[in-house]
Amino acid sequence: MLEDSNTFQEMITQPQALAASLKAVEEQSQDLLDLWGQGYEYVIFTGCGSTFYLSLAAAFVFQKLNHVIAAGIPGGELFLSSHLFSPPKPTQRILLVAVSRSGATTETVRVVEAFKATNVGSVITITCEPMSPLNKLGDIKIAIPEASEQSVVQTRSFVAMQMATLAMAALLAGQTKLLDQFHEVPDLTASLLEEQGGSMKKLGGDLSLDRIYFLGSGLRYGLACEGSLKMKEMTLTHTEPFHFLDFRHGPKSMITDSTLVIGLQSSERPEFENDVLVEAQGHGGRVLSLGEVSPSTRYENSVVFNSGLDPVVHSLLYLGPLQLLALARAQAKGLNPDKPHNLDAVVKLDNLRAT
């Protein structure tokens, strides 16, 4: 049964993990401010798999709030192309934020080791394992053991580490009112998971759908990538993520009446995103929209947050329903979400050495 899986239990305990994550950032607020005060004009977020997608969202928010260049780059790419450590200007110092649930992912650990050897900046590590190799390398270490998981697939760990990156961005930007809003997220997440359980189970159980596309723009693109990855990992379904407006430029040719298009909608420019979803619906696809307010077009499936929070803060609410959707589809297909095909919880590579 779905409720008996570790994956489900970890999903429904997200509120506690979110609260613990926010506390972990707040406890180190002065150290973070002191470090940021040293002057950094280029920030790299890095991770592998889910935490790379988290890095994309985090970099977008960090650049927006702090007005510095920020990038999300896969750990493997940084390992293979060390020139990516080079700042835009030779005099600039880099802040590297390395994110890993286990803190033992080989690419991420090796990248941090190589980065520290260059002496071009500082490192903040974000993990769920305080005793991990990665956590020991950080100049500032943010550990969230309450978000640690037994499952291979990341659920509560993702949103907890996402919380840490967003709260850190708001803190360093001096956005105290924004930082206060994060305290509302755990309770809102609990309510959303309870409210959406039935509808996500119904939609996830519809096996007439054979392909699923996730659309998101801005900080939501990284979340769309993560939603797509959850569906791949748990259900072995053909899924792909796209930026909203780019979906028209070729990918929409794949829409059939067995397609589900999932839109992670913004509060800023929803009319353009609605147009894309309406067009997808017109081509025979089914639509699931998620966002802060009710979409201007009625879709068969919609998740509305009604949180009243800033878009940066309510971005933490998208993943819970999508995780429930993937879990329900796994159950409908007779798959064990705790044992995804071909996957391990941590990727460790014995032959990966810096040169």
Go through the chain and tell me how many residues it has.
355
Q: Which of 108, 152, 128 is nearest to 344 (CA)?
A: 152
- Which sign does the torsion angle of CA 43, 48, 51, 52 carry? positive
End-to-end Cα separation, the chain, in angstroms: 48
- Residue-level pLDDT at 355: 43
Domain residue extents for the chain:
2-184, 185-332
- Residue-level pLDDT at 82: 73
Q: Which of 321, 298, 56 is nearest to 188 (CA)?
A: 321
Alpha-carbon dihedral 159, 223, 203, 299, rounded to 10 degrees: 130
Using an 8 Å Cβ cutoff, are 253 and 307 in contact? no
What DSSP state is assigned to residue 344? -
Whole-number Å distance between alpha carbons of 329 and 202: 9
- Residue-level pLDDT at 118: 87
DSSP for 94-154, please give it.
Answer: EEEEEEESSS--HHHHHHHHHHHHHTSEEEEEEES-TTSHHHHH-SEEEE-GGG--SSSS-
- Residue-level pLDDT at 168: 98
Whole-number Å distance between alpha carbons of 48 and 54: 9
Fold of 185-332: Rossmann fold (3.40.50)
Q: Which of 129, 126, 151, 152 is nearest to 139 (CA)?
A: 126
Return the CATH architecture of domain 2-184. Answer: 3-Layer(aba) Sandwich (3.40)
How do residues 76-134 score in pLDDT, each as one tens digit?
A: 999 888 777 776 666 678 999 999 999 999 999 999 999 998 888 999 999 999 999 99
Token look-up 């993943």 returns 319
Whole-number Å distance between alpha carbons of 13 and 70: 31
> What are the backbone angles phi and psi of residue 259, rounded to the nearest 5°?
-105, 135
Spell out, as residue ranges, where the chain has pLDDT lower than 70: 1-3, 87-91, 340-355
What DSSP state is assigned to residue 206? -
Whole-number Å distance between alpha carbons of 295 and 135: 42
